[in-house]
């Protein structure tokens, strides 16, 4: 094994590269250049870009686990899931394309996966089935990933073209006969308020499913 560089150094540099240039720029070759080593030095640790993304996502999820562990226990599953989803979003937003690197990756640290065990213990003690608990975690994770991907993409696109999401231009483009769609467009918000409102809808859906 190459002793000149560690996996931790590789992941740290990869996250820095992500923040500087975005996910599409994160390649093993670009990372080797950033670390001033030959690509072969990295292949001892990560065989390809997918394994690199797996390690990056795992590091982000380690930070999620640490941040979530510091959140005081809530009053039941709804508080638990809401807190977990907020932590996910916060950690994803710390990095450019933070949610994109998580999508489709495989967590490589079992301790990160074990983070779910205390939640599952609490929820199953109140009558949940383990499969329902797992589905609930998967659902809020998918919501957080999708929300942040859209949030970050819209923000970056608006920086490149401030008029891209102009509501007045949209109204003119829609033309006549779409008054309700236009009204909804004018009421649309972004950021924390929208996140909390949509998260509430997701949790309401889980609650309704549990009642059946």
Average pLDDT, the chain: 92
- The fold of 1-47 is Arc Repressor Mutant, subunit A (1.10.10)
Domain-by-domain residue ranges, the chain? 1-47, 60-211
Q: Residues of the chain with pLDDT > 70: what percent? A: 99
Rounded to an integer, the average pLDDT of 104-114 is 93
What lies within 8 Å, CB to CB, of 194 at 6+ separation is 188
pLDDT tens string 157-193: 898 898 999 999 999 999 999 999 999 999 888 899 9
pLDDT tens string 76-99: 999 999 999 999 999 999 999 999
Cα of 185 vs its chain's centroid, Å:
26
Q: Phi and psi at residue 119, in whole multiples of 5°? A: -65, -50
2 confidence band (pLDDT: 50, 70, 90): very low
Cα of 181 vs its chain's centroid, Å:
29
Rounded to an integer, the average pLDDT of 187-205 is 94
Q: What is the per-residue pLDDT for 176? A: 93
CA distance 44 to 51: 11
CATH superfamily of 60-211: Tetracycline Repressor, domain 2 (1.10.357.10)
pLDDT tens string 62-72: 999 999 999 98
Q: What is the per-residue pLDDT for 193? A: 94
Does this model's pTM top 0.85?
yes
CA distance 190 to 167: 13
Q: What is the per-residue pLDDT for 1? A: 38
Q: What is the per-residue pLDDT for 7? A: 87
Torsion of CA 197, 201, 207, 209, to 10 degrees: -170
CA distance 212 to 208: 7
**Phi-psi category of residue 127: left, alpha or beta, with phi > 0 → left and psi -120 to 50 → alpha:** left
What lies within 8 Å, CB to CB, of 174 at 6+ separation is 181, 182
Q: Sign of dihedral through CA atoms 139, 140, 143, 145?
A: negative
CA distance 150 to 22: 15
113-117, 137-141, 181-185, 187-191: least confident range: 187-191
1-5, 111-115, 198-202: least confident range: 1-5
């Amino acid at each position: 094994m190459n002793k000149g560089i560690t996996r931790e150094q590789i992941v740290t540099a990869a996250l820095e590269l992500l923040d500087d240039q975005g996910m599409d720029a994160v390649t093993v070759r670009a990372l080797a250049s950033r670390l001033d080593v030959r690509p072969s030095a990295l292949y001892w640790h990560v065989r390809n870009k997918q394994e690199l993304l797996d390690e990056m996502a795992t590091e982000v999820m380690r930070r999620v686990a640490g941040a979530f562990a510091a959140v005081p226990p809530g009053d039941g599953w709804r508080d638990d899931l809401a807190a977990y989803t907020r932590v996910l979003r916060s950690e994803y937003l710390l990095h450019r394309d933070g949610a994109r690197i998580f999508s489709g990756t495989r967590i490589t640290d079992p301790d990160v996966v074990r983070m779910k065990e205390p939640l599952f213990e609490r929820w199953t003690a109140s009558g949940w089935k383990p499969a329902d608990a797992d589905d609930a975690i998967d659902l809020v994770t998918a919501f957080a990933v999708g929300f942040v991907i859209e949030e970050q993409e819209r923000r970056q696109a608006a920086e490149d073209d401030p008029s891209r999401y102009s509501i007045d231009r949209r109204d003119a483009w829609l033309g006549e006969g779409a008054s309700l769609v236009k009204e909804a467009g004018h009421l649309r918000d972004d950021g924390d308020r929208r996140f909390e409102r949509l998260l509430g809808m997701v949790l309401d859906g889980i609650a309704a499913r549990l009642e059946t």
